[in-house]
Amino acid sequence: QVQLVETGGGLVQGGGSLRLSCAASGLTSSTYVMGWFRQAPGKEREFVAGISRSGDSTYYADSVKGRFTISRDNVRNTVYLQMNSLKPEDTAVYYCAARFGTRITQNGYSVWGQGTQVTVSS
């Protein structure tokens, strides 16, 4: 069956960096677009970044543009989110998700990971 597992979350100081990983199983890498989402307490889930099936195209929310980088390794069937210059407002549970298609979108993701907590201290 299809499964996504996020790792790499933790507690970091403001201005620090983390790299999140999302390992996929039960999927063929070339058939899905991947996205990262986050949800903070009291807030709605929001789209963070998306990446095309080949990894050639990416799209970012304005709030993270210039600080976060999404990438993928289709051989290892893993998607990454490199987070730099972290701010306390980045604190959230981060989820990876997959959608079958060709376009990077902010919705329509059908497979979700369990989430990993990212906490950024002041």
34 — pLDDT class (breaks 50, 70, 90): very high
Helix (H, G, I), strand (E, B) or coil at 50: strand
Chain centroid to CA 44: 16
Helix (H, G, I), strand (E, B) or coil at 49: strand
pLDDT-above-90 percentage for the chain? 89
Give the model's pLDDT for residue 66: 98
Give the model's pLDDT for residue 15: 98
pLDDT top residue among 103 and 10: 10
pLDDT at 56 over 80: yes
101 — pLDDT class (breaks 50, 70, 90): confident
pLDDT at 73 over 90: yes
- The residues near 56 (Cβ < 8 Å, ≥ 6 apart) are none
